[in-house]
Amino acid sequence: MNVTLRNAVAAALFAGLAMLFGAPAASAHGGPIVLEVAGDGSHGVNVVATWKKDRHPVRDTVIGAAVATSTDGRSFGPVQLVSAPEGQNLYHVAQPLPTGEWRVTVTTTEPAETRKTVKVVARDIAAAAQPEQVAAPEAGQGAEAPVRAATSEPEQGAKGPVRAVAAEEPAGTADLTLTVVVVAVGVLVAVVTGVTVRRQLLRGKGPAIRS
């Protein structure tokens, strides 16, 4: 009898502990949820759902839709939310937003009712990168300057030896001219001497006749 009573008390104690600690754990992920809505930089809209109480990801299926109005009066939606493969609490709007500035409202019904409205700019990625493409030629022109400078320096350096050789050419020419003049003078002296001697011999006044 004592053993049976003891077992019953132990079972009741364990049941009480399970109810005491199990109830908060079961109710930890309940209540209102919070939505974070933002554009993906192109035409998509991302939605992240978390529990408001502890900010844990909402792993339950989120059922909701998105509607939008552009600044020029166009309407979009309602379009359902679809689960994204990147995360359990990440959702996408099922259809892309047309190009423009939009006021997007996301409304959910499960696991809790909530609503979030944000401004989203939908645009092509190529159009968003266009300012960088315009600036690219300027960067290219700036990159060409060192190439041109580096190209011009070897050209100047290559001209140095040519100019040095050209400067040495007058010295060689002067030596050649001097040699030609000396040879010409020598030939002229020899010719004059020969003519003089010949005349003296013909006249009989040379030194050999006198001796």
pLDDT of 127: 58
Domains and CATH numbers, the chain: 33-123 (2.60.40)
Angle at 38 between CA 35 and CA 40, to 5 degrees: 135
> pLDDT tens digits, residue range 186-198?
767 676 676 676 7
Mean pLDDT of 119-146: 63
Rounded to an integer, the average pLDDT of 62-66 is 97
pLDDT at 125: 85
For the segment 83-108, what is each residue's pLDDT rounded down to a tens digit?
Answer: 998 888 999 999 999 999 999 999 99
User: What is the pTM assigned to this prediction?
Assistant: 0.49
Tell me the sheet residues that pair with 76: 68
What is the average pLDDT value for the chain, to the nearest integer? Answer: 73
Mean pLDDT of 23-30: 55
The pLDDT, as a whole number, for residue 199 is: 72
For Cα atoms 138, 141, 144, give the angle at the middle one, nearest 5 degrees.
Answer: 155
